Structure 1
C-alpha cells in the first residue's frame, strides 16, 4: 500500500500443557514456550510496530512467590526490546547459576517468564496516545489469584461512551476513557461478581476462606463472565486473556470482523491473529489450525481442558475484507488465492482502458503487498492473449506460414519491475516545497524499459486511500519514464467511509474518493446535497445508535463509480505531468467474488455490521462539515 495506514493489532497466546521439564527433555530447553511466543510475534510484526508486550504466568506457585511477569515497550523496535530484556535476564541467571540454569524446576521457581502461560501483543494505536500505559497486555491485579486479569486484544469499540457510563453507574471510577480500559474493567467487574457469588455459596456450605479459594479457581465459569461482560460491546474484537489462577481464553466478535485462530495438541495450545504464523511456528498443516467461530471463545482451563464455547449469538459473518486485500500476511493459502483473484478480475477493465494494446503496455506493481494481485492480473492478461492468439490462428483458415504463426504466438505481456521502494525517507524538512521534493524520492524507478510517448504503463497497488503518496511521489517518478499513459490500478474498491473496527481511518476528509465526490457536487451545482446530508446527520445526533441511518451514502448517489474514478485521477495528477493519468478501481461485485467468505465491506459500501458504525459515519461527516479534525468515536 502506497498510503501508510495504521491498523489492526496482533495477539499471540500459548498454554503449555506439560510440565516445563517435559520440554527440556524433548526439545532441549524449558524456554520452549517463550521461544514459540517470540516466533509468533515476529511473524505478526506487520500487525503492529508502535508497541509490544509480553506476560508470562506460572501455575501453582506458593504464596509469596511472584507468578505474573510483564515486559512492554513502545520503542523503535518493540519486539526486540521486550525479548532482549527477557533473554538478558536469562543470560545473567545462566552466568550466575550455570549448574542450575537448565533445571526446569529451578528455573520455574527462580526465573521470570519460566511458566506455562504466555500472552503477547503487537500494537498499532487507534485509540489513545502512544504511551506505554496503552501498550498491551494490560492487567487488573488483586491478592486473590482468581481475581487477577491480564488481557490483550485487537479491537475497536464504537460505543466507548456508553460503556464508560455503564462502569460509572456500577460505581467504578475508570482511570481512562479508552476502549482498552472499558473492556478490561467490564470483564473485571463480572470476574469479581463470579468470585463473590462462589465465595458466598461455599461460605454458606461451611468452608473456610482458605478452602474456598481453590474451589473458586476450579469452578469459576469463564463462559458466563465473558458473555455478561461483552453484552453491550459494539465493534470488532479478538481478545485474549489470562486469569491469575491459570484459566485462559480467546474470544471473537459475533460478526467475525477481527480474525483469530488456534491450534491444540497434547503439548500446547496456541492462539494468534493469523493462521500461517501458527503453521510456521509449530510446523503444522493449515487444516489443523482452526478459526475461532464468530461469537465464540476458546476457553483453556487450568487443568488443561480446551473447549470452544458460545459467548454471543453469532450474526451474519462480516469478516474484514481489508485483511484479505492488505493487512494479513499473504502466506495464508486462502488469502494468497483471493489476492490473485482480485488482480485477475480487474483485467477486463484494464484492457479496456488501454484499448487492448498489450504490445505497447508495460505492466508492473507498487511494492510489495500488491505483488500477489499483480500475478493474478497478469494471469488475466495472458488468458486474454491466449484467446486472441487462438482467434487469429483460426482466422488464417489454414493459410499460415511459419513467420505468421511465429508473429502471433510470440506476443507476450511486457512485465517489468518499475517502482522500487528506496530507503525510508524521513520528511524532516518542514516547509511544504522542500518536504514534497523529499517525499518524491521515497520510490525510485527502472529507466530505459518504457518507450517514450509510445507505451502505456499499468501499475497495480492494493488500495488507494488518501492518494497522497501517489500525487507527491509515485506519479511524478513514473512520469520520468515518459510513458504515453499511466494507469494506476487498485485491487480494492473506492474507500468512501470511515472504519471503526480497527483500522485508523476515521476522518472523511482523508479519503480521496470522498474529496472527489465533494468536488463533483460543487462542479455540478449540487452543494445543497452536502447541506441536506449534514442536517439529516445532525438531526439524529442524539438518537440511540440502533435508530441511526447512514445518510452519508446519499452524497455518492448522483455519480457512478467511473465518474468518481475520473475525478480522482484529475485530483491526484501532479502539475506539469506529461503522461495522461487514469485510475481503475476494483468493483464491489468483484471483491465479493474474490473474497466470498470475508465480505466485510463497510469502508467501500457504508453497510456497517453494527449499529455503532452508522453512528461513527454520521459523526465523521458532521466533523467534516463543521471543520473539526477529530476522531469520530
Structure 2
C-alpha cells in the first residue's frame, strides 16, 4: 500500500459502570479506565498518525467545580504526548494521595468515569491543533456541554449548510465536523429545554431542576433529530457534561465499530482486536454496532441500543478488510489469506507454471498475510502435482525418482525491506525523488540472476508512485528473468468519499492508463460524452436516482489491456526486466470477503447519493482542468 494514502480515523470509548473505589480495590488503581484508553488508542495507531485527543467527564461534581477535561496533540507521537500531559497533572502529589480515590475525585483532573479518545488522519488536507478531535461545545450547564469525535466524512455538507441557512442560522465554518457539532449541540439544547419545562411543571426549583434534567436527557431524541439528513460514512462518538455517552454508525454500514459491555464497563473501538487485547476477550464477547444503530449509556450507567436511522444498505467497506484494519482480527486474517490464495491460478499463468524458477515474496508489511495465502495456494498446487507424478510411477517406483519428485518445493524469500522514511525537511525535488527511490532495500543474491521469476505481492496499487520511484527500480538490481507484481485488491478505479483520503481520479494509475489508451486510439469523443452525462447526472433534482457516468471510461478495455499500459507508465527509465501486473478479480474479492460488500473503489457502485454525485463531479473537474491545459488553436 502506498505510504501517502491516509487511513480513516480511530475512536475509543470507555464508560465505568461502578464507582472509582471499585476499580481501586479490584484492579489496584482508580486509573483503570485511563490506562485502558491509552492501550486502546495505541492499538489503533494504524488508523491515525496526524494527531490524537482524549476527553474525560467526572461525574457528580459539585456546582462550581470543573468536570470535563480535554487534551489534544499533533504528530505521530500524539498519543504518548497527550497521556504524558495528563500524568503531569499527577506529579505534584504523593503516592498516598494518588491512591486515595476521594482525593482524586475532588482534586485531580481526568479522574473520571467516562473517557473518549480519537486518532486522526486528515481526509481534507487541513492540519493544525484546531482540527484534532475531540471537539468541544461549552456551556455553563453540564447537560448542554457536548464533546464529539468521529471516524467520518459527510458527502452532502452543502445540503446541510443550505438547510441551516434557510432556517436563518449563520454557521461560522463550512465543514462537516463543525456543522455536525453545532447541529447536534443545538438539538441537545432543545432536549435540555424540554426537560426544563417538565421540571417546572412538577414544581421543581434551582438545583432540583438541574438534577431532573441530567437524569432525564434522552440522547436518542438528539440523534434522531440530528442525523437523518447526513449522507456519508461515519462512526460518531460523543459525551456530555452530565455523563451521557453515545456512538452511532452510519445506516449504510460503511465505517466499522465494535463494543463490549459487562457489569463493570462499556467499551467501544473501531476494531475488534483492540477490545480483545485490551480487555482479554474472545471474539464472541464483542458485538459489531449495526447500521444506523446507536450505543447509548445514560448518566445512570444504563446501556441501550437504539435504531436511530433505518438501515439503508449493506455496504461495509471492503478496503477496511484489505488494508486499513489490523490484520490480527480473526476474520480479517482469514480474508486476506484467502485473497492471496485466490491469486494462485493467474500467477501460475503469468510464470507459465514454472515454479522451479520462481521466487515468491511480498512488499512489507500489510501484504504479508496475503503472501501466506499465495504461498499456501502454490504449495497445494505442487502437492497435487507430486501426487500425480508418484501415482504415475506405477506399483514399483524407483526410490530416486520418488525423492526427486518430493524434493520439489515452493521457493520464497524476503526480498524487499522497508528501510528508511523520507524526512519532510528535504523539499528539493531531485533530492527528494532520489531518497524516495531508496525507501525499500533488497536482499541481494536472494534470486538467481536472469534465471528466476520474481513474484511480489502488495495489498493494493493506487497511484503507482512507490512502484515507479522505488520498488521496480530496486528489484531490477536483482536481475530477475521477469517481475510479476501482484495486487491482492482489484484495480482501484474510483475515489473514496467516506472517510479515507484517496486521490482524485487523475491520480489513480488505472485511470491515467485508461485515459492514455483512449487518447492513443482516438476515442476523445468518449470523454466528451461522459462529461455531458456527468453534467446531466449532477443536474438531477434532489431525491432522483443518480448514476455513475464515469464507469463508461473503462468499458472499452479489458483488465489486461489496462495492466499493460500501467506497466508502460510505471516502468523506470532504463529498466529492461519484463514486468507484468496481476490484480485480484471482483469475483475473487467478493468470495474472500463475502460480508463486506462496499466495493465502490473497484466497481464505482457508491452506496449513497452523495458518493455518486461526487464521483461525477470529480470527472467534470478532471475534464475541465484537462481542457484548460490543452494547447488552444490560435494562441
User: Shorter-chain TM-score: which interval?
Assistant: over 0.9
Which residue number corresponds to residue 122 of structure 1?
A: 119
Which residue number corresponds to residue 616 of structure 1?
A: 614
Contact conserved, 1:427 with 1:435, CA < 8 A, in 2?
A: no
Alpha-carbon distance, 1:489 to partner: 0.3
SS of 1:113's equivalent? coil
Alpha-carbon distance, 1:101 to partner: 2.1
Which residue number corresponds to residue 184 of structure 2?
A: 187
Which residue number corresponds to residue 149 of structure 1?
A: 146
Which residue number corresponds to residue 371 of structure 1?
A: 368
SS of 1:100's equivalent? helix
SS of 1:284's equivalent? coil
Which residue number corresponds to residue 561 of structure 1?
A: 559
Q: How does 1:303-318 map to 2 (within 5 A)?
A: 303-318=300-315
1:586 matched to 2:584? The reply is yes
Contact conserved, 1:500 with 1:506, CA < 8 A, in 2?
A: no
Which residue number corresponds to residue 522 of structure 1?
A: 519
SS of 1:471's equivalent? helix
Alpha-carbon distance, 1:399 to partner: 4.9
Question: How many residue pairs end up in the alignment?
Answer: 626
TM-score, reference length from structure 1: 0.97
1:470 matched to 2:500? The reply is no
Contact conserved, 2:420 with 2:438, CA < 8 A, in 1?
A: no
Alpha-carbon distance, 1:157 to partner: 0.4
Q: How does 1:67-466 map to 2 (within 5 A)?
A: 67-94=67-94, 98-127=95-124, 129-426=126-423, 428-466=425-463
Contact conserved, 1:537 with 1:618, CA < 8 A, in 2?
A: yes
Stretch moving more, 2-11 or 429-438: 429-438
SS of 2:93's equivalent? helix
Alpha-carbon distance, 1:429 to partner: 4.8
Alpha-carbon distance, 1:520 to partner: 1.0
Alpha-carbon distance, 1:391 to partner: 1.6
Distance 1:224 1:585, change over 3 A: same
Contact conserved, 2:134 with 2:147, CA < 8 A, in 1?
A: yes
Alpha-carbon distance, 1:578 to partner: 2.2
Alpha-carbon distance, 1:284 to partner: 1.1
Which residue number corresponds to residue 26 of structure 1?
A: 26
Contact conserved, 1:2 with 1:461, CA < 8 A, in 2?
A: no
In structure 2, the gaps of 5 or more residues are 628-635
Contact conserved, 1:127 with 1:179, CA < 8 A, in 2?
A: no
In structure 1, C-alpha distance between the alignment counterparts of 2:30 and 2:442, rounded to whole Å? 50
CA displacement, residues 378-420 of structure 1 (integer Å, 9 cap, x when unaligned): 0001111111111212222335211111111111111100000
Contact conserved, 2:14 with 2:33, CA < 8 A, in 1?
A: yes
In structure 1, C-alpha distance between the alignment counterparts of 2:223 and 2:132, rounded to whole Å? 22
In structure 2, C-alpha distance between the alignment counterparts of 1:546 and 1:562, rounded to whole Å? 38
In structure 1, C-alpha distance between the alignment counterparts of 2:503 and 2:613, rounded to whole Å? 12
In structure 2, C-alpha distance between the alignment counterparts of 1:449 and 1:375, rounded to whole Å? 18
SS of 2:538's equivalent? coil
Alpha-carbon distance, 1:174 to partner: 2.1
1:494 matched to 2:491? The reply is yes
Alpha-carbon distance, 1:506 to partner: 4.2
Alpha-carbon distance, 1:202 to partner: 3.0
Distance 1:427 1:356, change over 3 A: farther
In structure 1, C-alpha distance between the alignment counterparts of 2:401 and 2:329, rounded to whole Å? 44
RMSD: 1.5
In structure 1, C-alpha distance between the alignment counterparts of 2:274 and 2:3, rounded to whole Å? 25
Alpha-carbon distance, 1:76 to partner: 4.2
Stretch moving more, 447-456 or 216-225: 216-225
Contact conserved, 2:2 with 2:463, CA < 8 A, in 1?
A: no
In structure 1, the gaps of 5 or more residues are none
In structure 2, C-alpha distance between the alignment counterparts of 1:274 and 1:357, rounded to whole Å? 41
Contact conserved, 2:534 with 2:549, CA < 8 A, in 1?
A: yes
Alpha-carbon distance, 1:546 to partner: 4.0
Distance 1:421 1:221, change over 3 A: same
In structure 2, C-alpha distance between the alignment counterparts of 1:163 and 1:93, rounded to whole Å? 49
In structure 2, C-alpha distance between the alignment counterparts of 1:464 and 1:21, rounded to whole Å? 52
In structure 1, C-alpha distance between the alignment counterparts of 2:312 and 2:399, rounded to whole Å? 62
Which residue number corresponds to residue 576 of structure 1?
A: 574
Alpha-carbon distance, 1:189 to partner: 1.8
In structure 1, C-alpha distance between the alignment counterparts of 2:428 and 2:248, rounded to whole Å? 47
In structure 2, C-alpha distance between the alignment counterparts of 1:505 and 1:462, rounded to whole Å? 15
